[in-house]
Structure 1
């Protein structure tokens, strides 16, 4: 409980606001924090005007506390799920085009089989999704890699869902050979997609002239349709949104691999297992 008090103070920036969030009295919050400082032997808070701020030691403990509490909450949910998936929740993090395409279909399958199981969704790119997974804040992370040779880290288990080809987008039909577009202006997407574009162009013998960068697939396609440049987009992005004014042709050898990732050794809790099944990973 003292760790929860520290986190509330970190979020709210004052003892009064933390007490209100936790439905405690302010003296009770002060008592918990004093006991926590005595137990750790470190000053965790520093008064600033009428509020408080965390010291370096306080920030460190708050970060660890967030992970610990997330794990405890996840364990409580897993225990609830063990009664036969009649209750509990399961949490999924996924990148935007996954949430715009196959994840809702998986959610429908899960709800049909387990109507009382609550599914929580978080939209985020793969690096953040993996961080949430490691911290115990989600149970499954849907992510992608352009390189399928990268090793799994300890405790992480990757289940391949499918391969997602890339498409060259242009305002009018053009050759799919990237080397023929060395003088063109290009539009780049998210960091991982930008890196993939740079790698493909490097293999084709040129460095792309990137005039615009955006991870908004609607904006990117609008720029392409306006003749502002060429871009590469994954098939899922086109499935989620397709501007009718663009031309799209599949790029050979440009594929990203989509996975469902879990953390910890199997067997997984029934709720996690059910979600993996709905995603087609079991």
Structure 2
């Protein structure tokens, strides 16, 4: 099986059509179609079903795509190793991060990294942890800055987890809330309040913590924008929980923040494919993220 044709097939599968794959590769559509047909001949059957709306993977195509993603990831790491033969003179790192880290940890880390390694190209994309981890698995990203509540993310065996830090979760209240002036605050005392939920993982954590305190939270508003969450709280529309980094990235002047050990913590770390830490450019960015996080 020709690995070059496997990579062409991967581009077709990810792009969703022959024409889109041709544009991405800089080829003509007949050239892409010819390579795909030859690969299908090699494997003994169709890998995609063609239609005017694009392509759909067959069972064989779905099976091969997983191997093609792994191949693309390995080839990318090999390219990075060769590009950075001496003192990181070249190379590229693709980082994906969750939103509040993009606003707090990442800018300082990338500033310092660029100062130390100006020849290394770093790209950044924002995504929630599940999507970020998927990007690393599929070979479209090298590092994912992700989080999980009250422990490391579930281990699927495909990625390595490197813990960076742990941050507390805080209660966020309207300024005129009866509990805003209390020095000690129990979660159970907020059982009758209206709650504002965040991203799916944050919402799940909120519900679990409230249940542990003995009540089911009445969630009436939900948004994964931590600025919008605080605006809703400031308007008196409910109370919420937010991790410390979200409040560091933006703190609404009209909310009150209270700490409580019962709210748990958020674990922050890096997810990457095994072996990525041996690629010089990737390893250097990992080290910079470790140092930047340690100083916060």
Change (3 A) 1:17 1:145: closer
Tell me whether 1:248 sits opposite 2:257 in the alignment. Answer: yes
What are the ranges of 5 or more consecutive residues in structure 2 without an aligned counterpart?
none
Q: State TM-score, norm by structure 1.
A: 0.88
Q: 1:270 aligns to what? A: 280
What are the ranges of 5 or more consecutive residues in structure 1 without an aligned counterpart?
none
Q: 2:245 aligns to what? A: 236
Q: 2:215 aligns to what? A: 206
Q: 1:82 aligns to what? A: 85
Output one character per residue of 1:62-104: Cα deviation in whole Å (capped at 9) or x when no partner. 4542442233123212321233201001122211101100111
Change (3 A) 1:3 1:90: same
Q: State TM-score, norm by structure 2.
A: 0.85
Shift of 1:29: 2.5
Tell me whether 1:222 sits opposite 2:231 in the alignment. Answer: yes
Output one character per residue of 1:34-73: Cα deviation in whole Å (capped at 9) or x when no partner. 2111111111233434x65234233443454244223312
Q: 2:269 aligns to what? A: 259
Tell me whether 1:30 sits opposite 2:33 in the alignment. Answer: yes
> What is the DSSP-based 3-state SS (H/G/I as helix, E as strand, rest coil) of the residue aligned with 1:280?
helix
- The CA RMSD over aligned residues, in Å, is 2.5
Output one character per residue of 1:217-255: Cα deviation in whole Å (capped at 9) or x when no partner. 111111111111000001100111111111111222421
Shift of 1:276: 1.7
> What is the DSSP-based 3-state SS (H/G/I as helix, E as strand, rest coil) of the residue aligned with 2:151?
coil
Residue correspondences, number = 281
Aligned mates of 2:50, 2:166 — CA distance in 1: 53
Shift of 1:205: 0.7
- From 98, 120, 123, the equivalent of 1:120 is 123
Contact 2:152–2:267 (8 Å) recurs in 1: no
Q: 1:110 aligns to what? A: 113
Q: 1:129 aligns to what? A: 132
Q: 1:143 aligns to what? A: 146
